[in-house]
Structure 1
C-alpha cells in the first residue's frame, strides 16, 4: 500500500512540476477572451432585465440569445478541453484553468431528455412561484400568493384552523401537485451527472464546492454537530413560548413542536420586528432599536448619501476609494415592491467597468444591504486581476459571506452609536444585546437545519438510498434535525418536499449553509485581529465588535478576494482567516451570551431540552 501511495505522490509531484505548454496557453488565452465577451453580453442582458422589470420581452429575449451563444461556444470547447486533459499537458495554473471551464450541464442530455428536463424545472418553478391559494372559508377567492398575502394573513392570525388550513393547502398545491415531475426530474439529474463525467450524482450535486458528496456531507455534519447544543436550547425556549401561546395539547412536552406554528413564530423575525410579537423576549423593557426611524431622523434616508457613507467605511478599513463616476452612472431600479428591491453591483469581464443599481433607501434593511452590495463591488474589482475563467468565487455565495460579515459589523451598537443612529447607551448593555441576539438567532440558528435537511434529502435520493418521493423519510430528517413535526401525521400518500424548496429545484443549499457560517468566522477573525474582540473579555464581546477604521483588514481582504477561484476555497480561507476550513466557532462565539441566557431560562422554567 505504501508503495502505491509513494507512486501516486511521485506522479503528483511530476504533474505539479510540468512546464507550461505553449499550445495550451494560446487555447486558454483565446478561451478567456471569448468567454469574457459572451459573459459581458449576458450581464448587460440581465442588467436590462433588472432595470425594466422581470416581464420585459426585449430583456428576456437578450438573455435567451446570450444563453444560446454561450452554450454553442461551450460545445466547441468541450472536445479540445478533453484532449488537453487526456494528454496531461500544462503546469499547475494551466490545469486549474482547464478545470474551471464551463460544463455542458443538462445540455449533455439527448434532445428529448433535454426538452423534458427544462420543461420539468420550469413547471415546478412556475408552480412554486405563481401558484395561487384560495382564501380560508372563501373558496371563490383564489388569488392569494404565498408571499406576501398568505404570509401576512398567518402572521397576523390567532385562528389555529386558519393557520393550519394554509399550511396544508400550500403543500397540496405545490408538493403533491408536482410529485411525478419531481421524481422524473431527479432521474434526469442522475443521468446528467453521468454524462458530465460524474459516476456518483451526489458528487455532481456539490461540484461547485470542489468536494465530493461524502466530503461535503461530512463537513455539513460536523457543523450541524457543533450547532446542536445552541439549537437545542433555543428550540426548547421557542417550544416553551409556543406552549404558552397555544397550550400543552397542541405543543406537548418532550415532542417536536408543530411546524405550522413554529414557522409563524420564527417567520416574524424576518419582518420589521416589534418587541411585543415575542412572549418571551429576553428583556421586554429594553425593547428593540428602531434603526429605520433613526435613519430618517439623521437624514440618512437618501441612497446617494448612504452610498458615500458606506464607501468611506470601506476606504477606512484599507480598501480602494470608489470613484465619483460610479455613482454618476448608477441606475435606480424600477420596482413595484420596495421591500423586495436590493442594491446590486454588476461585474464585467472584458469591459473595464462595474455598474451599480440601487433601490429607494427607506428602511434599515436597505441600509445594511448597501454594505453587502459594496463588498461585492470590491470583490469583483479585486478578482478582476484573474483571467476570466478564475474570476468567479471559490464557491457560490462566498462573496456574500464577506458582505454579510461587514453588514453584521455595521449593525453593531458601537458602530451605530458612532453614526448617531443609537442615542441611548442601553443598547450596548446586556439586556438590549440579548434582545438583538434573540431576533438574529431566529433568523440564523433555525435556518441552518432547514437548509441541511433539504440538501440531505436530495443527496440521499441521488445516492439511491431513498426514493425521490419518500415523504416519510423527509419527515424523519425534518423531525430529527429541525425538531418540527407536521400538524398531523404525513405518510407517503402525501409529498411535502417541493413546498419547502425556496429556490429552484436543482439549487443546492450547501453553499448557502456554508456562507452563513463563514460570515461569522470572518467576523470573529477580523475582530480578533483588530483587537475589537477578546475571547473571555466581557467588555469586548463579538456582537459589539466595530470594524470601522480598522485599516489592517483591507490588505488581507484584498489579497484573499484577488485570488478569485484560482485556488481551492480552503487556500482562500487560509489567506483570509489563517485556517483552511469553515468552522462553526465564530457563530457559537457570537451567540454565546444568548446561549448562556437560554440555558439559564430553560432550567429556571423547567423547559425540557430535546425531543423524542
Structure 2
C-alpha cells in the first residue's frame, strides 16, 4: 500500500497562511476567479514548504512505536488538521465562481485531502486525531497467545496460517487474531461520528460520500460503476469458489464444511480469507505447479531484504525509469528490527519530492518478492509526478496507484526470473491452467473482498448500520459477496472488521478492487508494446524501454487530468474494463467449468 500525506507541520503555519490568503480576496469586494487561482497557488506553496514535519512524525511512529512518538504524531496531525480545516473554510469564498479547469480541479482536491475529515471545532478535531492514533496503535501492537503458549503478532499469524493444515489450529489462530479488535469498537464508532461532522462541513452527506466523490463522476454514480465491474468478473469468481470448496471438502472432510455452501474463513490460507494462493497445494490437481519454487530460488541465491529491493530497482531501471535516490537506501526500513516495535504492514512513503521510502518487514519468500515490486511501483509513481504542483502530486484516482505495482507484478514470470538469473534455465513448459489457477487464487479470489470492505464502511458512515450491528453486517456482506462464513458464532461483542489493517488505519479500500481490474488493462497494453501480446502468462517487460517511456508519460500527469484521460494516455481506453482480466483467465474459466460439472456450486 502507499502512504501519501500532504500534511502541514507547525501551528505557526496558520499565522503565515491567513494573511497570505487574505491577499487573494479582499473582504470588501466580491472574490474573482483570478483571486481564486492566486489563493490556490499560495496554498500549494505553503503545503510544499510545511508538509514534511508531520509526515516525518507519522513515519517515526510507524518505525518506532513508543508513547513519546505517538504523542508527537498526534500533535503534528492535530496541528495540520486545524490548518487544513481553515484553508478549506477560506476556499469556500470562491464557490460558485466560473473558475478555470485547473483551479476548479485543485479546489476539489483540496476538499478531499483528508480520508477522515476533521470538524472545525478544535476540541473535536483534537479528539479525532487522538482516536486515529489510538486505533492504528491498537492494531500495530496487537498480539495474542494460544493455549499451548505460542504467541503471535500480525506478521506471525499471517505466516502460520499460510502454512498450517491443522483445522483446529487454524480455527484457534483465526479467532486469536480477532481478539485484538473488540477494544477498537467504541473508539471506531466515535471516529465515525466525528468524521461525518467534518464531512458535512465540507458539503458532503457523510464520509462515505466524500470517498465516493474522488472518481471524476457524481458520488451517487460510483457504486453502480463498481457493481458493473463486479458483475463482469462474478462468473469467474463463482467458478473458482466452487472448485476451491470441492477441493477443501475433499481435504478436510464434509464435517468441517457448512451445509449452506459457504467456505469457512479459516481454511483459505489467509488471516482475512482475502487471497487464497497459500492453499494452492490443496486446490491444484496432481503434481501441477510452476515447475520451480521461487522462495527456494531466493534462498539459494542468498537473497536478503536489500537484495530483493535491488532486484526490483533493477527492473524499473531496465525499462528506463531510472534508479532510486541514495536517500531511499539510507532512510527506508526494509527488515523488522529486534530493538523496537514497528508497524510491519508494507507501505511506500512520499515524504517530499526528493525523499521517498519503503517500510516493510521483508521476508525472503515469493510473496514478498512480489510485494517488493508492488511497493516500488508506488515509489516510481511518486518519482514520475514529483514535478507537478502539490495538489496534483497524486494519480488520477487511487486505483491507479495500486494498479501500477500490480501490473508490474504480473511480469514476474518464469521468463523474467530467467532474465535476472534466478532461474538458470526456463522450466519445462508449465501447463497454462496450473499457472492461471495459482494466479487466480490471489487475483480473482480477492475481488469480492476488495469490494465489500468499503461497502461495509459506506453503510456505517451513512448511519444505515449502527454500532450494535457492525459485526452482523460485516458477515452478511462476506456471505453475500464472497460466499465465506465465520468458523464459529460471531456476536456483537466482536468487532471483526477491526482485525483488518485498513479499518483501524482508515485507508479507503475500493482502490484495491479497482486496481485488481485495471492492472490487467495496463499489463495487456504493456505486453503489446513489448511485442509479447500473445500468451500474457509468458510476458516479461524487463528491459523494454518503450513500455517505461509510455508508462512514465501517463504517470507524469499526476492528478492533473480526469482519470479517463490518464487511462486513455496509456491504454487507448477511457473506461475501466474487466475484459482484459477475463481474457487472461479464459483458459482457466473453461477448465473450471469442466471441473465443476456435477458439483453443487453456489451458496445461500
Fold shared per TM-score above 0.5: yes
Q: How far apart, in 2, do the equivalents of 1:503 and 1:335 lie?
A: 23
Q: Deviations over 1:30-73 (max 9, x none)?
A: 222111011233444455556xx323677656645543453343
Q: Is 2:224 the partner of 1:224?
A: no
Please give the per-residue CA displacement for 1:326-372, whole angstroms capped at 9, x wherever unaligned.
678666656327995868564524xxx34456877844445444434
Residues 268-287 of structure 1 aligned to structure 2 (within 5 Å): 278-284=281-287, 286=289
Q: Is the 8 A contact 1:390 1:566 kept in 2?
A: yes
Q: Which residue of 2 aligns with 1:303?
A: 306
**How many angstroms apart in 2 are the aligned matches of 1:187 and 1:582?**
33
The answer for the alignment partner of 2:293 in structure 1 is: 290
1:207-356 matches, within 5 Å, as: 207-251=213-257, 255-262=261-268, 278-284=281-287, 286=289, 288-295=291-298, 297=300, 303=306, 307=310, 310-311=312-313, 313-319=315-321, 321-322=322-323, 333=334, 335-336=336-337, 340=344, 344=348, 346-349=350-353, 353-356=354-357
- Residue of structure 2 in register with 1:608 after alignment: 600
For the pair shown, the structure with the greater C-alpha radius of gyration is: 1
| Alignment: residue pair count | 566
Q: Residues 331 and 356 of structure 1 are in contact (CA less than 8 Å); yes or no, is this contact kept in structure 2?
A: yes
The Cα RMSD (Å) is 3.8
Unpaired runs of 5+ residues, structure 2, are: 1-31
Quickly say closer, same or farther: Cα 1:67–1:494, change in 2 above 3 A.
closer
Does 2:547 align with 1:553? yes
What is the DSSP-based 3-state SS (H/G/I as helix, E as strand, rest coil) of the residue aligned with 1:565? coil
- 8 Å Cα contact 1:379-1:399 kept in structure 2: yes
What is the deviation of 1:211?
4.4
Q: Which segment is superposed worse, 74-83 or 232-241?
A: 74-83
Structure 1: distance between partners of 2:185 and 2:309: 47
Q: What does residue 422 of structure 2 align with? A: 421
Tell me which residue corresponds to 1:579: 573
Q: CA deviation at 1:117?
A: 3.9
Match of 2:204 among 173, 194, 198: 198
Alpha-carbon distance change, 214 to 145 in structure 1, aligned in 2, over 3 angstroms: farther
SS of equivalent residue, structure 2 residue 402 = helix
Deviates more, 1:383-392 or 1:161-170: 161-170
CA contact (8 A) 1:24 1:89 kept: no
Q: Distance in 2 between matches of 1:237 and 1:596?
A: 12
Q: Deviations over 1:397-455 (max 9, x none)?
A: 5223212211221x11222223332345445432xx43333333222222221232221
Which deviates more from structure 2 when the two are superposed, residues 560-569 or residues 334-343? 334-343
CA contact (8 A) 1:417 1:423 kept: yes
Q: Provide the rounded CA distance (Å) in 2 between the counterparts of 1:77 and 1:447.
A: 39
Q: CA deviation at 1:549?
A: 3.2
Specify the SS of the correspondent of 1:101: helix
The answer to whether the aligner puts 1:54 opposite 2:60 as a matched pair is no
- Does 2:154 correspond to 1:147? yes
Listed one character per residue, the Cα deviations across residues 574-602 of structure 1 (whole Å, up to 9, x for unaligned) are 21222223222232222223222222222
Question: Which residue number in structure 2 is paired with residue 16 of structure 1?
Answer: none
Moved more, 201-210 or 568-577: 201-210
- Output the CA distance in 1 between the equivalents of 2:50 and 2:398: 20
* 2:88 is the alignment partner of 1:78: yes
Secondary structure of the residue aligned to 1:133 is strand
Deviations 1:593-612 (A, max 9, x none): 32222222222xx3222123
Aligned to 1:375, the other structure's residue is in SS state helix
Structure 1 residues 282-291 or 33-42, which shifts more?
282-291
Alpha carbons 2:118, 2:195 under 8 Å: kept: no
Residue 412 (structure 2) pairs with residue 400 (structure 1): no
Q: Secondary structure at the match of 1:284?
A: coil
* Residue range with higher mean Cα deviation, 156-165 or 542-551: 156-165
Residues 267 and 435 (structure 1), Cα distance of their counterparts in 2 relative to 1, 3 Å cut: farther
8 Å CA contact 1:164, 1:487 repeated in 2: yes
CA deviations 1:278-337 (Å, max 9, x no partner) are: 234135155652224334555766836963x65554344343x43885678666656327
Q: 1:516 and 1:120, CA in 2 relative to 1: closer, same or farther beyond 3 A?
A: same
Contact 1:40 1:348 in 2 (8 A): yes
The TM-score normalised by the length of structure 1 is: 0.80
Decide whether aligned partners of structure 1 residues 560 and 173 sit closer, same or farther in structure 2, where only a CA change above 3 A counts.
Answer: closer
User: How big is the shift at 1:189?
Assistant: 3.4
Alignment partner, residue 536 of structure 1 = none
CA contact (8 A) 2:414 2:423 kept: yes
SS in 2 for 1:519: helix
Name the residue aligned to 1:443: 442
* Gap change, CA 1:245 and 1:293, over 3 Å in 2: closer
Distance 1:121 1:446, change over 3 A: same
* Displacement of 1:197: 1.2
CA contact (8 A) 1:414 1:428 kept: no
Q: In the alignment, what sits opposite 1:591?
A: 585
TM score, norm. by length of structure 2: 0.81
Deviation, 1:512, is 1.9
Partner of residue 15, structure 1: none
